[in-house]
C-alpha cells in the first residue's frame, strides 16, 4: 500500500515537473514568435496583376460561389479606345452594345458616353462589380491596348481563407500574401499613370 502511494506521489511529482517545463516551453516559444513577428500584421491574399495571365481560374476556383475576384478599371491608364477591346468582342462585325457583341459574358463592363472628339466617340468604361464573375476576359482584351483593366481580390467579399483556393490553382503563381494595411496591388504602369495624374 505504502509502495503504491509512493509510486503515486512520484508520478504526480514527475507529471508536475513535465507540465511546468511544457508550459514554459510553450510560453517561451509563443513569446519568441511574438517577439519575432510581433509587428507582423495580418496578411491577406492579393493578385499581382503584372504576373496574372488571365487564365480564367479566378472565376471558378474561389471557394465562394461568386468569386471574390473582380476586374478593376484603372481610369488613369484607360485610353478610351474606340473600339474598346475589353468591351467588344472584336470577332463580331457590329459595334452595337448588343450582348453578343460584348466580350464580357455577364455584361458587367458598362460604358457611358462622355464626348466626341474629332469624330471619335469617347466612353468611360466601368466594371459593374455585382455582375462581374472575375473571368478576366475583359482584362485579356484590354491587354491588347493599354491594359488598364486588371483582376483583384475584392476584400469586401473575400473571406481570407488561410489557404486561398485560387492561389493553389493559379498557373502563374500570381497570388501573394500582402499586409492587410496595403490590401491591393497595382500594375506598374497603372501606378505610374496614377502618379502622373497626381503630380500634374
Partner 1 sequence: MRRQLRILSGLALLLLLVAGAGAQELLSRPEIEGHATPTAEFPEPRSASLEYTDVAVLAVALGLSVYLALVRRSRRGLFLLAIGSLAYFGFYRQGCVCAIGSIQNVVLALSDSSYGVSLAILAFFALPLVATLFFGRTFCAAVCPLGAIQELFALRPVRVPAWLDQALGLAPYVYLGAAVVYAATGTAFIICEYDPFVAFFRLSGSANMLILGACFLVIGLFIGRPYCRYLCPYGALLKPLSRLSRWHVRIPPEECINCRLCEDACPYGAIHPPTVKQSDADRKAARTRLVLLLALSPVMVAAAGWAGRGLGVPLSRLHPESQLAERVRLEETGQVEGTTDASDAFYSTGRPRQELYAAALALHERFSVAGMLLGGWVALVIAVKLIHTNLRRQRTEYSAEKGNCVSCGRCFWYCPAEQVRLGLIENVDVVVKRPPAEEGKS
| Residue count, binding to ligand SF4 (CB under 6 A) | 41
Tell me the closest approach of the beta carbon of residue 199 to ligand SF4, in angstroms: 30
- Give the integer Cα–Cα distance in Å for 76 and 128: 18
- Degrees, nearest 5: CA angle 122-123-126: 155
Q: According to CB under 8 A, which residues from 5 to 44 bind partner 1?
A: 15-16, 18-19, 22-23, 26-27, 29-30, 33-34, 36-44
Q: Closest CB to ligand SF4 among 81 and 108?
A: 108
Q: Are strands 69-73 and 109-117 parallel, antiparallel or unpaired?
A: unpaired
Q: According to CB under 8 A, which residues from 171 to 200 bind partner 1?
A: 171-173, 177, 180, 183-184, 189, 193, 197
The grid coordinates of residue 122 equal 469617347
In angstroms, what CA-CA distances link 49 with 105, 121, 125, 127, 163? 21, 29, 19, 16, 19
Name the site residues for ligand SF4 (rule: CB under 6 A): 45, 47, 52-55, 57-58, 62-64, 68-69, 71, 103-104, 106, 108-109, 127, 132-139, 151, 153, 158-161, 164-166, 170-172, 174
Amino acid at each position: 500500500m505504502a509502495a503504491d502511494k509512493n509510486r503515486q506521489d512520484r508520478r504526480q511529482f514527475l507529471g508536475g515537473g513535465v507540465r511546468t517545463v511544457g508550459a514554459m516551453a510553450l510560453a517561451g516559444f509563443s513569446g519568441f514568435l511574438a517577439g519575432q513577428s510581433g509587428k507582423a500584421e495580418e496578411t491577406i491574399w492579393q493578385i499581382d496583376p503584372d504576373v496574372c495571365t488571365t487564365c480564367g481560374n479566378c472565376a471558378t476556383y474561389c471557394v465562394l460561389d461568386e468569386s471574390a475576384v473582380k476586374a478593376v478599371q484603372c481610369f488613369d491608364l484607360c485610353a478610351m479606345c474606340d473600339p474598346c477591346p475589353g468591351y467588344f468582342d472584336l470577332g463580331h462585325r457590329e459595334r452595337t452594345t448588343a450582348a453578343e457583341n460584348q466580350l464580357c459574358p455577364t455584361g458587367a463592363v458598362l460604358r457611358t458616353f462622355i464626348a466626341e472628339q474629332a469624330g471619335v466617340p469617347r466612353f468611360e468604361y466601368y466594371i459593374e462589380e455585382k455582375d462581374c464573375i472575375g473571368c478576366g476576359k475583359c482584362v485579356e482584351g484590354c491587354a491588347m491596348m493599354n491594359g488598364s483593366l486588371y483582376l483583384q481580390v475584392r476584400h469586401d467579399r473575400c473571406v481570407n481563407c488561410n489557404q486561398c483556393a485560387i492561389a493553389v490553382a493559379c498557373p502563374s503563381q500570381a497570388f501573394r500574401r500582402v499586409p492587410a494595411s496595403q490590401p491591393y496591388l497595382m500594375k506598374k504602369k497603372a501606378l505610374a499613370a496614377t502618379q502622373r495624374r497626381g503630380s500634374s
